Chain A
């Protein structure tokens, strides 16, 4: 467990030291999201109608955009080999890296989400289902993304490949995340989609780090 904490602390410190990276993802989230009023027209009724889906899609793309640095720098400077050689279980190390990645990308996104929601004239009463959904959904995104990042490590045109691998797997999270907000907007109970997101998270937690560790091991072979 101390190895988990040590790796988590190292990754957090590395990211915070060149803190621009995390902010860049948040900036992308807001700037790209703010393009939509120009595209579909600034009518508040139209924007409010599509805002839940837009915030979710932007969150998903922002997580995707940040995935390439999850293993890439460790792969390049050789730390990954150190982690692979260490006696600690690799699954645990991968879990620590995913947790650190989630803390420095998804948490800032959740803080920025109300701002983007405001820009897209989302009803403030819908913020709780949106943020609860993101709290349950973004860890799943990070875990699935870690599998994709490990699989495409060292590939030609890795970024494009990564999105081709990961985006289809993100669809269920998007469906239920946006579904929770849509249900709340229609005045219906939104527990069911949130529970589905929770179920995805549990399944991803159980299987994801294991699959990502297996992919990392074969990437280093």
Chain B
């Protein structure tokens, strides 16, 4: 995923999709932060889990 993730393109797409207003001088920092999150996510996605590993959040009906 690291090779294919493009922070600039991702931010531009999501900005339009969500209707965010990102000023030009904020943009490089936002791109830096989404790149950092992607790097963290990459480590998480790389880890093999068994299908029975359930998500942690608790919902009590």
Mutual binders A and B: no
